[in-house]
Amino acid sequence: MIYKICDKDEWEAAAMTGIYPGSANDAKDGFIHFSNAAQVPGTLARFYADADNLVLAAVDDSKLGAALIWERSGDHGLFPHLYGPLPMANVVWVKPLIRGADGVFVLPPEMGK
């Protein structure tokens, strides 16, 4: 399972088409950024610290084929990058990302499943 952090409104618009083309940042980089479960907290802290209105989507990476490539991202290890649009049929679940009382995002319990 891999995970995509995304603006809720952007995700909902893509869900209506059945294809997620990626965010503006993804388009700039030429691929859709994902994280594995262990990487999600760090990705949230590095890139979404001031963001709200986010969702976390769990994606079945076994169905993405050769378009999914694990690549090094600085000193942060190998990250999954999808070179092409994401078919929404590969999304297992989508959950809102909310902050706890301490301001840190609370990850959905489904991440451990």
Angle 73-70-36 from CA coordinates, rounded to 5°? 80
Could you tell me the two tokens for 94? 């989508």
Total tally of structural domains belonging to the chain: 1
Token pair listed for 59 = 């994606």
Which CATH number goes with the domain that contains 66? 3.20.170.20
**pLDDT, position 58:** 97
The answer as to whether 68 is a domain residue is yes
Which pLDDT value is given to residue 74? 75
Q: Is residue 66 part of a domain?
A: yes
Per-residue model confidence as pLDDT tens digits over 17-66 = 999 999 999 999 999 999 999 999 999 999 999 999 999 999 999 999 99
pLDDT above 80 for 85: yes
Q: Is pLDDT of 76 > 90? A: no
Distance CA 5, CA 100 (A): 17
Per-residue model confidence (pLDDT) at position 113: 59
Q: Find the range with the poorest average confidence among 61-65, 71-75, 104-108.
A: 71-75
> In this structure, is residue 37 part of a structural domain?
yes
Q: What is the mean pLDDT of residues 81-93?
A: 97
Task: Kindly state whether residue 31 falls inside one of the protein's structural domains.
Answer: yes
Q: Is residue 113 part of a domain?
A: no
Residue 88 has pLDDT above 70, yes or no: yes
Write the DSSP symbol of residue 51: -
Query: Which DSSP category does 85 fall into?
Result: P
Instruction: Answer yes or no: is 57 within a domain.
Output: yes
Domain that holds residue 23: 2-107
Query: 112 lies in a domain?
Result: no
Q: How far is CA 53 from CA 18, 29, 50, 95, in A?
A: 21, 23, 10, 11
Q: Is residue 79 part of a domain?
A: yes
